[in-house]
């Protein structure tokens, strides 16, 4: 999955910068809408949002 | 012979790189001199390593590396604050963070080699909002993942070096990168998500 994320990173990062601070479910909906129906980008966005959720405590002290 | 070790200018209390020298290198590096950048890194690395060794000796049982404290102490010892400006402080942190990454990884690899087979021994890195109580394997995995991340986003790598390896606060990291704390927070989250995707791939 990371390979795909890295390949699409400029587009993924642009979308993340817009949605990262939004609460769910609006966050995912808005992020997916920004993919313009591109299935690879949608997959990358779902993966990175899941990684963001799961990595909250990752590398953090508390 | 007989007295000293033939190292001119290196008294018993003087750090590896004297304040004047590092300050000059910081100012030269600011103007883009690549030679000054290399020498600055080497001097900061050497000083941090000396301080880290002293820490490890002092707490030999736990071998705690207080990354945040080391970086701040190195700054106070090395940089002449009457001559360096605010930007130089940020730049020093950026260089020190890169050096800390190297030191932490060397430390983890050595401990890993010594403890191999004895399970997953923790390497505590203290303080800072983002610092860690990470296992040896985690620290090494993060380092390897960062090397890959550098191809995608060198900026995110710098954020991780500052927040994770040097344990700086969001504000200090922002200062080092000449950006806002809000940007550092967002970049830190993006970097963590990407590293997580590399290190903990889905089944």
Q: What is the DSSP string of B75-86?
A: HHHH--TTT--H
Residues with Cβ < 8 Å from A52, sequence gap 6 or more?
A: A16, A20, B189, B190, B192, B193
What are B53-97's pLDDT values in tens digits? 887 677 654 444 578 888 888 998 899 888 888 888 999 999 999
Say whether residue B30 is in contact with chain A using an 8 A CB cutoff.
Answer: no
Alpha-carbon distance B193 to nearest alpha carbon in chain A (angstroms): 5
With CB atoms and an 8 Å threshold, state whether A1 touches B202: yes
B196, B156 Cβ separation under 8 angstroms: no
What are B9-59's pLDDT values in tens digits? 444 444 555 668 889 999 888 888 889 989 999 999 999 988 888 876 776
Alpha-carbon distance B198 to nearest alpha carbon in chain A (angstroms): 6
CA angle A36/A41/A43 to nearest 5° reads 120
With CB atoms and an 8 Å threshold, state whether B201 touches A47: no
Q: What are the angstrom distances between the C-alpha of A31 and each of A40, B47, B189?
A: 13, 46, 16
Identity of the residue in B128, B148, B197 whose CB atom sits nearest the CB atom of A1: B197
Which residues in chain B are closer than 8 Å to A8, comparing Cβ atoms?
none
With CB atoms and an 8 Å threshold, state whether A55 touches B201: no
With CB atoms and an 8 Å threshold, state whether A48 touches B129: no
Alpha-carbon span B173 to B179, nearest angstrom: 8
Identity of the residue in B130, B192, B201 whose CB atom sits nearest the CB atom of A1: B201
Query: Collapsing DSSP states into helix, strand and coil, what is residue A2?
Result: helix
Interval A7-12 mean pLDDT: 97
Which residues of chain B from 113 to 142 reach within 8 Å of chain A, CB to CB?
Answer: 128-134, 142
Dihedral of CA atoms B39, B40, B45, B51 in degrees, nearest 10, equals 120
Kindly identify which residue of chain A lies nearest to residue B130, measuring between CA atoms: A60
Q: What are the angstrom distances between the C-alpha of B77 and each of B51, B60, B71, B92, B108?
A: 11, 23, 10, 12, 26
Q: What is the pLDDT of residue A43?
A: 97
B75, B105 Cβ separation under 8 angstroms: no
Predicted interface score ipTM higher than 0.85 = yes
Q: What are the angstrom distances between the C-alpha of A39 and each of A13, B4, B97, B164?
A: 16, 69, 38, 34
Q: What are the angstrom distances between the C-alpha of B72 and each of A37, B89, B180?
A: 49, 10, 21
With CB atoms and an 8 Å threshold, state whether A5 touches B197: yes
Angle, helices A26-33/A9-19, rounded to nearest 10 degrees: 140
Interval A18-41 mean pLDDT: 96
Alpha-carbon distance B130 to nearest alpha carbon in chain A (angstroms): 5
Alpha-carbon span B157 to A40, nearest angstrom: 25
B84, B20 Cβ separation under 8 angstroms: no
Q: Which secondary structure element, helix H or strand E, spans residue B123, and what is its range?
A: strand B122-124
Residues with Cβ < 8 Å from A2, sequence gap 6 or more?
A: B148, B194, B197, B198, B201
Residue B202 has pLDDT above 90, yes or no: no
Which candidate, B115, B140, B124, places its Cα nearest to that of B64?
B124
Alpha-carbon distance B147 to nearest alpha carbon in chain A (angstroms): 13
pTM: 0.81
Alpha-carbon span B57 to B55, nearest angstrom: 5
């Amino acid at each position: 999955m990371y390979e795909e994320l890295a390949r699409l990173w400029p587009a993924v990062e642009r979308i993340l910068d817009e949605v990262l601070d939004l609460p769910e479910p609006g966050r995912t909906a808005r992020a997916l809408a920004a993919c313009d129906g591109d299935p690879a980008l949608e997959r990358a966005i779902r993966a990175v949002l899941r990684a963001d959720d799961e990595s909250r405590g990752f590398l953090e002290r508390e | 012979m007989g007295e000293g070790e033939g190292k001119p200018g290196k008294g018993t209390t003087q750090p590896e790189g004297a304040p004047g020298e590092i300050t000059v290198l910081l100012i030269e590096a600011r103007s883009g001199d690549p030679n000054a950048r290399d020498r600055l890194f080497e001097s900061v690395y050497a000083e941090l390593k000396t301080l880290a060794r002293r820490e490890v000796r002092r707490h030999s049982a736990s071998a705690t590396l207080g990354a945040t404290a080391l970086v701040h102490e190195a700054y106070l010892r090395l940089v002449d604050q009457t001559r360096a400006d605010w930007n130089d402080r940020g730049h020093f942190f950026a260089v020190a963070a890169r050096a800390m990454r190297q030191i932490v990884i060397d430390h983890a690899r050595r401990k890993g080699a010594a403890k191999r087979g004895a399970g997953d021994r923790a390497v505590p890195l203290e303080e800072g909002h983002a610092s860690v109580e990470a296992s040896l394997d985690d620290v090494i995995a993060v380092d390897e993942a960062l090397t890959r991340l550098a191809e995608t986003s060198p900026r995110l790598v710098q954020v991780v070096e500052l927040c994770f390896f040097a344990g700086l606060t969001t504000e200090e990291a922002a200062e080092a990168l000449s950006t806002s704390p809000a940007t550092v927070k967002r970049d830190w989250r993006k970097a963590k998500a990407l590293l997580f995707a590399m290190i903990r791939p889905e089944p």
